[in-house]
Chains A and B, each alone.
Chain A
Amino acid sequence: EAEVAQSPRYKITEKSQAVAFWCDPISGHATLYWYRQILGQGPELLVQFQDESVVDDSQLPKDRFSAERLKGVDSTLKIQPAELGDSAMYLCASSPRTDTQYFGPGTRLTVL
C-alpha cells in the first residue's frame, strides 16, 4: 500500500538555527498539505499545494516559514530561524484532487 514519506522522523535543533523537513506524497496525488500539531492538540493547516501552486498559506508564519513544491511532487518545509515555540509535530498529507487526506508519520521537532 502506498504511503506518504517524511524525513527526518525526529529533529533536535537550537533556537535561531534553520531546519528543513521533506515530504514525498503518494504517487499521483495532486494535493499536498503541511500541518503543525502542538502536543495535546489537533493538526492545524500551514500550507496547501495543488500540484506546484500554493492554494492556501494563510496560516503559515511567512516571516520564518517557507514551503515549496517545485515540480509538483515532493515538498520541503523550512523554518529559519527556529524558535522555542516551533517545537511540534509537523505532518504532511496528500490527497487526490477531491478526496480523503492520507498522512505521513510526521517529523517531531524539538527546539532547545
Chain B
Amino acid sequence: AQSVTQPDIHITVSEGASLELRCNYSYGATPYLFWYVQSPGQGLQLLLKYFSGDTLVQGIKGFEAEFKRSQSSFNLRKPSVHWSDAAEYFCAVGGNNNDMRFGAGTRLTVKP
C-alpha cells in the first residue's frame, strides 16, 4: 500500500532564508508525486507535480522539487522564503488510477 512520510511536523525559517521540506514515499510502481499548500481554513492548492521525465520539477511561487528514486524522496525547496509562504504543506503520492495518499503535513512558520 502506498504511504507518505513527512518527517518534520513544524519548521521555522527566517524570511529570505532557503527552505527544504522533506517527503518520503512508499509505492509499488512508478509514483505520481505532488506537493500541495494549504492556508488556514482553506482548500489545497497544487504547487507542483511529478509524473515522469526530468526529476527536477518547477512549480508555482518559486518552488521546486526533486524526485530521487533511490531514496524514495520528493523534497520541496525554495531558495528564498517570503512571509506569505507561511502555511501547511502536504506531499502526496498516487498512481494512474487517481488514487492518492497524503502525508500528515509540515507547518511552515516564517520569522520576520
Contacts and interface: CB of A to CB of B under 8 A. Distances in A.
A104 B98 CA distance: 17
Interface residues of A, number: 26
Interface of B: 4, 34, 36, 41-46, 49, 90, 92, 96-100, 102-105
A102 to B, nearest CB: 7
A42 B103 contact: yes
Contact of B44 (A31, A40, A41, A91): A91
Interface in A74-112: 91, 93, 95, 97-106, 108
Nearest to B107: A40
Contacts of B98: 31, 33, 48, 95, 97-99, 101
A14 interface: no
A103 B34 CA distance: 13
B72 to A, nearest CB: 18
A8 interface: no
A37 to B, nearest CB: 9
